[in-house]
Chains A and B, each alone.
Chain A
Amino acid sequence: MSGVVIIGAGQGGFQAAASLRSEGYSGPVLLIGEEAGLPYQRPPLSKTYLKSGDEGALALRPAAFYETQNITLRTGLRADRIDRARQVVVCGDTEFPYDHLILATGTRNLRPPIPGIEHALDLRTLADAARLRGALDGVQRVGVIGGGFIGLEFAAVARSLGREVTVAEAAPRLMARAVSPAMSERFAAKHREMGTEIILGDGVTAIDAVGFTLSSGRRVNADLILLAAGVRPNTELAWEAGLEVANGILVNDQLLTSDPAISALGDCASFPDHRSHHLIRLESVQAAADHARLIAKRIVHGPSAPYHAVPWFWSDQADWKLQIAGLARPEDSAEILPDGSVIRLKGDIVTAVETVNNAKVHMMARKRMAGATPMTRESFAAPV
């Protein structure tokens, strides 16, 4: 028996290995990861870690966990190729055979072809975060390219450490892919109140050692530049092996790729959304972990109900915790509630609920969205 091989030892790869064991899988489990060290969580990298520098708190589990669970962890090792006909993963001169293969390769930062891009730092891995943390120490002016979650979280930390911070976003509003215009506006106001300069609708055209230039011609001076302009899914392994790829490794509602011996999960997977029936790719801890659990269950117990977990997400920016339950399509309408929460609607169905520092409403929404029938505007308003 060759067992299960998992490529990518991040949030989802780790969870798949752990869940295989907790579901009672007794065959070999091999977790291969390119990054050195124990599998760790990324969310704190743009939040508490930047302040504390505490690497120990990031590990998902201590080394002893992998031993007691009999999970073979091979980190600092890159998978080069998948030979589907022979069911082996090739890493350099070594071949690892599999009965089932799980692709959990995540994403990498998008590096647009802007002149001087080499002056901008990334924030994706622990190594990136450590470098960034070190760089923050000696500088006064910080420039952030990209007003998405990671850029804004970093901006909030840098600002709280007393740096002068400018965020430049090419789109007309912040976090445009993920939240309603009203929520974008609330956050823009919040950051501006903190003293951060927020520039919207003005993309970066050139970067140098002391700042960057925007398409309007405007100049932003900065001694440290973070590039947080989105990511690209790591689909090359799958593509080269002849698997279907569509903005991510294509999987069905059992999270199986076009090869029944290979699953894909998390940031790198493009899967059918049970509610909207669109193909989606999510970049969240929730999706990575819920995908991993379904795959582990399926490997151990056979096919199950289609994947239908309710998406949820959070972002900590200064003393605000943004929470999103569900998933809205861009065209869904938005209704602003008296407390500033926003509900997204498709007709009468609530597709997403965006709240700030309101765990109660967030959790209520998650619970009701998980119910057998969709949450309507009316059932959202009904008392718990």
Chain B
Amino acid sequence: MVAITFIQPDGASQTVTATVGDSVMQTALNNNIDGIFAECGGAMMCATCHCYVDDAWTDATGERVDGEEDMLDCAEAEMRPTSRLTCQIKVTDALDGLVVHLPEA
């Protein structure tokens, strides 16, 4: 089990357990986290699962995948260097403790 913390724009935070192999998006949906809509179900066809990875975790979550940046560019909230689509971050043991921030809706 891996712990992931989602922090809302107002500072409210929720720590949930994630299953290795799931995406961070699935983890958010499973726990009904506000701000992750995931309209396309993880097919990289929308940018409604956008998050900002906490600075301490950007190395661990790695690089954006092909095409991800173009989608982020179209997200409702501004794209920052730490922006990722949560559907493209796979939960691994190395991500235990991961903190992601949700954009302003």
Contact = CB atoms under 8 A, between A and B. Distances in A.
A289 B39 contact: yes
A359 B74 CA distance: 10
B67 A357 contact: yes
B53 to A, nearest CB: 20
A349 interface: no
A41 B39 CA distance: 11
Interface in B34-79: 39-41, 43-45, 47, 66-67, 70-71, 73-74
B1 to A, nearest CB: 15
Interface in B3-60: 22, 26, 29-30, 32, 39-41, 43-45, 47
Contact of B71 (A68, A285, A359): A359
B32 A68 contact: yes
A90 B50 CA distance: 42
Most buried by A among B30, B43, B71: B43
Interface string A292-310: 0000000000000000000
Interface residues of A, number: 27
Contacts of B43: 43, 314, 316
Interface string A30-68: 000000000001011000000000000100111011001
Contacts of B29: 60-61, 65
Contacts of B41: 41, 43-44, 60, 285
A215 B30 CA distance: 50
Contacts of A274: none
A312 B45 CA distance: 9
B45 to A, nearest CB: 5
Contacts of A366: 74
Q: On chain B, which size bracket covers the interface?
A: 10 to 19
Given A61-B30, A314-B43, A363 B74 contact: yes
B40 A285 contact: yes
Contacts, number: 47
A289 B45 CA distance: 13
A64 B29 CA distance: 11
A286 B41 CA distance: 11
A278 interface: no
B15 to A, nearest CB: 17
B32 A359 contact: no
A363 B32 contact: no
Contact of B73 (A41, A64, A312, A363): A363
A279 to B, nearest CB: 25
B70 A360 contact: yes
Contact of A360 (B39, B45, B73): B73
A364 B41 CA distance: 20
A366 B71 CA distance: 12
Contacts of A358: 70
A321 interface: yes
Contact of A57 (B26, B44, B47, B66): B26
Contact of B70 (A65, A68, A359): A359
Interface string A140-179: 0000000000000000000000000000000000000000
Contact of A314 (B22, B45, B66): B45
A270 interface: no
A323 B40 CA distance: 13
B45 A323 contact: yes
A60 B38 CA distance: 10
Contacts of A312: 45
A61 B71 CA distance: 24
A65 B22 CA distance: 17
A367 interface: yes
A170 to B, nearest CB: 29
Interface of A: 41, 43-44, 57, 60-62, 64-65, 68-69, 285-286, 289, 312, 314, 316, 321, 323, 357-360, 363-364, 366-367
4 closest cross-chain pairs (CB), A and B: A363-B74, A359-B70, A360-B70, A359-B67
12 contacts: A43-B43, A61-B29, A64-B30, A65-B32, A68-B32, A316-B43, A321-B67, A357-B67, A363-B70, A363-B74, A364-B74, A366-B74
Interface of B: 22, 26, 29-30, 32, 39-41, 43-45, 47, 66-67, 70-71, 73-74
Given A57-B26, A363-B70, 16 more contacts: A60-B41, A62-B30, A64-B30, A65-B29, A68-B32, A285-B39, A289-B39, A314-B45, A357-B67, A359-B44, A359-B71, A360-B70, A363-B47, A363-B71, A366-B74, A367-B74
